[in-house]
Amino acid sequence: MENAAFASGAGMAVFPVQAYPGGTMRVLAVEEDPACLTALTEMLQRHGYQVTAKASPEEGLRALQENLEGFDLVMTVVRTQGPGIDGFEFLKHAAQRYPVILFSGVEPAETKMRGMLEGACAFLTKPLRDKEVRDVWQHVVARRRLNAASGADARGSNVVVVRQDETVAKKRGLDDSGEGGSDGRTAKKNRLNSWSEAELHAAFVKAVEQLRGTEGN
Protein backbone atom coordinates (compact mmCIF):
# COMPACT_ATOMS: atom_id res chain seq x y z
CA MET A 1 0.00 0.00 0.00
CA GLU A 2 2.74 2.43 0.98
CA ASN A 3 4.66 1.46 -2.18
CA ALA A 4 1.68 2.30 -4.34
CA ALA A 5 1.71 5.78 -2.90
CA PHE A 6 5.22 6.43 -4.14
CA ALA A 7 5.08 4.55 -7.43
CA SER A 8 7.53 5.95 -9.90
CA GLY A 9 6.12 7.46 -13.03
CA ALA A 10 2.96 8.65 -11.30
CA GLY A 11 1.80 11.89 -12.86
CA MET A 12 0.73 13.29 -9.50
CA ALA A 13 1.89 12.42 -5.99
CA VAL A 14 -0.54 10.07 -4.29
CA PHE A 15 -0.68 10.66 -0.60
CA PRO A 16 -0.51 7.51 1.52
CA VAL A 17 -3.91 8.33 2.93
CA GLN A 18 -5.45 8.21 -0.50
CA ALA A 19 -3.73 4.90 -1.26
CA TYR A 20 -5.26 3.37 1.85
CA PRO A 21 -7.18 0.19 1.12
CA GLY A 22 -10.86 0.97 1.09
CA GLY A 23 -10.38 4.61 0.23
CA THR A 24 -9.53 7.78 2.12
CA MET A 25 -8.55 7.45 5.73
CA ARG A 26 -11.23 8.72 8.13
CA VAL A 27 -10.27 10.61 11.26
CA LEU A 28 -12.42 11.58 14.20
CA ALA A 29 -10.85 14.76 15.61
CA VAL A 30 -11.93 15.86 19.08
CA GLU A 31 -10.90 19.19 20.63
CA GLU A 32 -12.61 21.74 22.84
CA ASP A 33 -10.47 24.66 21.68
CA PRO A 34 -12.19 25.92 18.53
CA ALA A 35 -9.02 27.47 17.07
CA CYS A 36 -7.03 24.28 17.52
CA LEU A 37 -9.87 22.13 16.17
CA THR A 38 -10.15 24.31 13.06
CA ALA A 39 -6.39 24.22 12.48
CA LEU A 40 -6.21 20.46 13.03
CA THR A 41 -9.14 19.84 10.69
CA GLU A 42 -7.55 21.98 7.99
CA MET A 43 -4.19 20.21 8.35
CA LEU A 44 -5.79 16.78 8.12
CA GLN A 45 -7.95 17.68 5.15
CA ARG A 46 -5.02 19.21 3.35
CA HIS A 47 -3.25 15.87 3.59
CA GLY A 48 -6.20 13.98 2.19
CA TYR A 49 -7.88 12.72 5.36
CA GLN A 50 -11.64 12.70 5.70
CA VAL A 51 -12.35 14.49 8.97
CA THR A 52 -15.22 14.42 11.41
CA ALA A 53 -14.65 17.19 13.94
CA LYS A 54 -16.27 17.15 17.37
CA ALA A 55 -15.98 19.79 20.09
CA SER A 56 -15.86 17.47 23.08
CA PRO A 57 -14.98 13.87 24.00
CA GLU A 58 -18.66 13.43 24.90
CA GLU A 59 -19.68 14.28 21.33
CA GLY A 60 -16.81 12.20 20.02
CA LEU A 61 -18.01 9.16 21.92
CA ARG A 62 -21.52 9.60 20.54
CA ALA A 63 -20.08 9.80 17.03
CA LEU A 64 -18.26 6.51 17.54
CA GLN A 65 -21.29 4.78 18.98
CA GLU A 66 -23.50 5.97 16.14
CA ASN A 67 -21.08 4.85 13.46
CA LEU A 68 -18.83 2.02 14.62
CA GLU A 69 -17.40 1.39 11.16
CA GLY A 70 -17.09 5.04 10.28
CA PHE A 71 -13.54 5.82 11.37
CA ASP A 72 -10.00 4.59 11.03
CA LEU A 73 -8.30 6.80 13.62
CA VAL A 74 -9.24 8.94 16.58
CA MET A 75 -7.37 12.08 17.67
CA THR A 76 -8.48 13.61 20.94
CA VAL A 77 -7.44 16.34 23.32
CA VAL A 78 -6.74 15.07 26.83
CA ARG A 79 -7.81 17.86 29.15
CA THR A 80 -11.29 19.31 28.93
CA GLN A 81 -13.20 22.05 30.69
CA GLY A 82 -16.72 21.19 29.69
CA PRO A 83 -19.09 18.70 31.28
CA GLY A 84 -18.85 15.01 30.50
CA ILE A 85 -15.91 12.74 29.97
CA ASP A 86 -12.34 13.88 29.38
CA GLY A 87 -9.82 12.57 26.90
CA PHE A 88 -8.61 9.73 29.11
CA GLU A 89 -12.14 8.45 29.65
CA PHE A 90 -12.78 8.72 25.92
CA LEU A 91 -9.56 6.83 25.27
CA LYS A 92 -10.79 3.86 27.30
CA HIS A 93 -13.79 3.51 25.01
CA ALA A 94 -12.12 4.29 21.72
CA ALA A 95 -8.81 2.44 22.06
CA GLN A 96 -10.50 -0.94 22.10
CA ARG A 97 -11.43 -0.50 18.49
CA TYR A 98 -9.35 2.30 16.99
CA PRO A 99 -5.81 3.63 17.14
CA VAL A 100 -6.07 6.74 19.32
CA ILE A 101 -3.71 9.69 19.32
CA LEU A 102 -3.86 11.92 22.38
CA PHE A 103 -2.73 15.53 22.36
CA SER A 104 -2.42 18.27 24.93
CA GLY A 105 -0.39 21.26 25.95
CA VAL A 106 2.89 20.59 27.72
CA GLU A 107 2.29 17.71 30.12
CA PRO A 108 4.58 15.94 32.58
CA ALA A 109 6.05 12.62 31.52
CA GLU A 110 3.73 10.79 33.92
CA THR A 111 0.67 12.04 32.07
CA LYS A 112 2.08 10.96 28.74
CA MET A 113 3.02 7.57 30.18
CA ARG A 114 -0.50 7.18 31.49
CA GLY A 115 -1.88 7.87 28.06
CA MET A 116 0.38 5.29 26.42
CA LEU A 117 -0.25 2.64 29.07
CA GLU A 118 -4.00 3.17 28.81
CA GLY A 119 -3.91 2.45 25.11
CA ALA A 120 -2.94 5.53 23.12
CA CYS A 121 -0.66 4.95 20.17
CA ALA A 122 0.90 8.40 20.45
CA PHE A 123 0.81 11.47 22.70
CA LEU A 124 1.46 14.73 20.88
CA THR A 125 2.17 18.15 22.36
CA LYS A 126 0.51 21.32 21.13
CA PRO A 127 1.02 23.10 18.89
CA LEU A 128 0.34 20.25 16.49
CA ARG A 129 2.78 20.53 13.60
CA ASP A 130 1.78 19.89 10.05
CA LYS A 131 4.35 17.10 9.63
CA GLU A 132 3.09 15.26 12.70
CA VAL A 133 -0.48 15.48 11.48
CA ARG A 134 0.51 14.42 7.97
CA ASP A 135 1.97 11.14 9.25
CA VAL A 136 -0.83 9.94 11.53
CA TRP A 137 -1.84 7.34 8.90
CA GLN A 138 1.13 5.27 10.07
CA HIS A 139 -0.67 4.44 13.31
CA VAL A 140 -3.59 3.00 11.40
CA VAL A 141 -1.32 0.83 9.28
CA ALA A 142 0.65 -0.30 12.32
CA ARG A 143 -2.53 -1.24 14.14
CA ARG A 144 -3.82 -3.23 11.19
CA ARG A 145 -0.51 -5.05 10.92
CA LEU A 146 -0.60 -5.87 14.60
CA ASN A 147 -4.15 -7.16 14.32
CA ALA A 148 -3.26 -9.20 11.25
CA ALA A 149 -0.19 -10.62 12.98
CA SER A 150 -2.20 -11.60 16.02
CA GLY A 151 -4.82 -13.24 13.83
CA ALA A 152 -7.62 -10.98 14.97
CA ASP A 153 -9.88 -9.18 12.54
CA ALA A 154 -9.06 -5.47 12.80
CA ARG A 155 -12.73 -4.70 12.79
CA GLY A 156 -13.24 -6.77 15.83
CA SER A 157 -14.19 -10.37 16.23
CA ASN A 158 -12.63 -10.10 19.68
CA VAL A 159 -13.43 -6.45 20.28
CA VAL A 160 -15.59 -5.42 23.17
CA VAL A 161 -17.74 -2.37 22.76
CA VAL A 162 -18.48 -0.39 25.88
CA ARG A 163 -21.67 1.59 25.82
CA GLN A 164 -21.95 4.96 27.53
CA ASP A 165 -24.06 3.52 30.32
CA GLU A 166 -21.12 1.25 31.15
CA THR A 167 -22.80 -1.99 30.16
CA VAL A 168 -20.67 -4.19 28.01
CA ALA A 169 -21.83 -5.55 24.68
CA LYS A 170 -19.94 -8.36 23.04
CA LYS A 171 -19.09 -8.32 19.38
CA ARG A 172 -19.17 -11.62 17.57
CA GLY A 173 -16.82 -14.33 18.74
CA LEU A 174 -16.01 -14.80 22.38
CA ASP A 175 -17.89 -15.72 25.47
CA ASP A 176 -17.14 -14.47 28.93
CA SER A 177 -15.85 -17.66 30.42
CA GLY A 178 -12.91 -17.95 28.06
CA GLU A 179 -13.73 -21.61 27.63
CA GLY A 180 -12.73 -22.83 24.23
CA GLY A 181 -14.79 -25.09 22.14
CA SER A 182 -13.48 -27.91 20.07
CA ASP A 183 -13.15 -25.38 17.27
CA GLY A 184 -9.48 -24.43 16.90
CA ARG A 185 -10.37 -20.89 15.88
CA THR A 186 -12.25 -20.34 19.10
CA ALA A 187 -9.28 -21.67 21.05
CA LYS A 188 -6.98 -19.25 19.19
CA LYS A 189 -9.27 -16.31 19.93
CA ASN A 190 -9.36 -17.30 23.57
CA ARG A 191 -5.53 -17.35 23.69
CA LEU A 192 -5.50 -13.85 22.21
CA ASN A 193 -8.09 -12.80 24.71
CA SER A 194 -5.71 -13.86 27.46
CA TRP A 195 -3.07 -11.33 26.38
CA SER A 196 -2.78 -8.51 28.86
CA GLU A 197 -3.16 -4.93 27.67
CA ALA A 198 0.51 -4.36 28.36
CA GLU A 199 1.46 -7.32 26.12
CA LEU A 200 -0.76 -6.10 23.32
CA HIS A 201 0.59 -2.60 23.66
CA ALA A 202 4.20 -3.78 23.64
CA ALA A 203 3.55 -5.74 20.46
CA PHE A 204 1.93 -2.70 18.91
CA VAL A 205 4.81 -0.38 19.79
CA LYS A 206 7.24 -2.91 18.32
CA ALA A 207 5.23 -2.99 15.10
CA VAL A 208 5.28 0.81 14.87
CA GLU A 209 9.02 0.90 15.42
CA GLN A 210 9.52 -1.73 12.72
CA LEU A 211 7.37 0.30 10.37
CA ARG A 212 9.36 3.45 11.08
CA GLY A 213 12.58 1.57 10.53
CA THR A 214 11.55 0.42 7.06
CA GLU A 215 10.13 3.69 5.72
CA GLY A 216 12.28 6.07 3.71
CA ASN A 217 13.00 9.54 5.14
Q: Is 65 in the site for other proteins (CB under 8 A)?
A: no
d(CA 199, CA 194): 10
- Identity (one letter) of the amino acid at 81? Q
Q: Give me the residues paired with residue 104 across strands.
A: 125
Binding mask 87-126 for other proteins (x = CB under 8 A): -----------------xxx-------------------x
Contact 123, 139 (CB under 8 A): no
Q: Is 43 in the site for other proteins (CB under 8 A)?
A: yes
d(CA 13, CA 70): 26
Taking CB under 8 A as the binding criterion, the range among 39-47, 90-98, 135-143, 164-172 that sits at the site for other proteins is 39-47
Minimum distance, C-beta of residue 54 to other proteins, in the bound complex (Å) = 16
Q: Is 82 in the site for other proteins (CB under 8 A)?
A: no
Which of 5, 39, 116, 154 touches other proteins (CB under 8 A)?
Answer: 39
Alpha helices in the chain (DSSP H): 2-5, 34-46, 57-66, 87-94, 109-117, 130-134, 137-150, 184-193, 197-214
Q: At what angle do helices 197-214 and 137-150 cross, to 10 degrees?
A: 120
Which of 19, 26, 29, 32 touches other proteins (CB under 8 A)?
Answer: 32
Task: Report the residue number, 55 or 200, with the smaller CB distance to other proteins.
Answer: 55
Task: Report the residue number, 50 or 104, with the smaller CB distance to other proteins.
Answer: 104
d(CA 4, CA 128): 28
Which of 42, 175, 179, 199 touches other proteins (CB under 8 A)?
Answer: 42
**Site residues for other proteins per CB under 8 A:** 32-36, 38-39, 42-43, 46, 79, 81, 104-106, 126-130
